[in-house]
Amino acid sequence: MLKQNLLANEQVLHQASVHWVIFVAPAIWTLATLYLLPQTTMQWQMLGYATGFGAIYYLIRALVRYYTSEYVVTNKRVLMKFGLIHRHSLELFLHKVEGIQVSQNLLGQILGYGTIVITGAGGTRDPFPLIGQPLTFRRKVLSQVELTFAQSKGR
């Protein structure tokens, strides 16, 4: 899908993905299911089936998020997309980027994930949560913005 969206002479310089932390909730629900299902009383087994449905729901949700997300820096644009039914996307030319903010809580700093907020011309602010290695992504965007600015001044 990424190759379909590239412009003429546009090259992918950096690609990020959703962090693996999105699979923690399905794992916890699965562990709860595996603990509850073998219990001897019917009430605990019924609770085990309910947590099993929760595990399936959260796993499908995480897989959809993982496979529908694209975070790319090219030599011309920043492209960020996620979602299947409710699609959230941003395609911003580098000369239109006014700022890029990274927000990480303590766990995000330890595990290497965070939310990127890109501010474009006109004050639009688009948040993209749970991106792996967000500081690297920000550095790649800013270095390309600087390069684009220097090239436009040199013309």
Residue 114 contacts residue 108 (beta carbons within 8 Å): yes
Distance CA 58, CA 22 (A): 9
Q: What is the pTM of this model?
A: 0.84
pLDDT tens for the 155 residues of the chain, in order: 566 778 888 899 999 999 999 999 999 999 999 999 888 899 999 999 999 999 999 999 999 999 999 999 999 999 998 888 888 888 889 989 988 999 999 999 999 999 999 998 887 788 899 999 999 999 999 999 998 888 877 66
Distance CA 16, CA 137 (A): 7
Residue 109 contacts residue 115 (beta carbons within 8 Å): no
Q: Would you put residue 16 in left (φ > 0), alpha (ψ -120 to 50) or beta?
A: beta
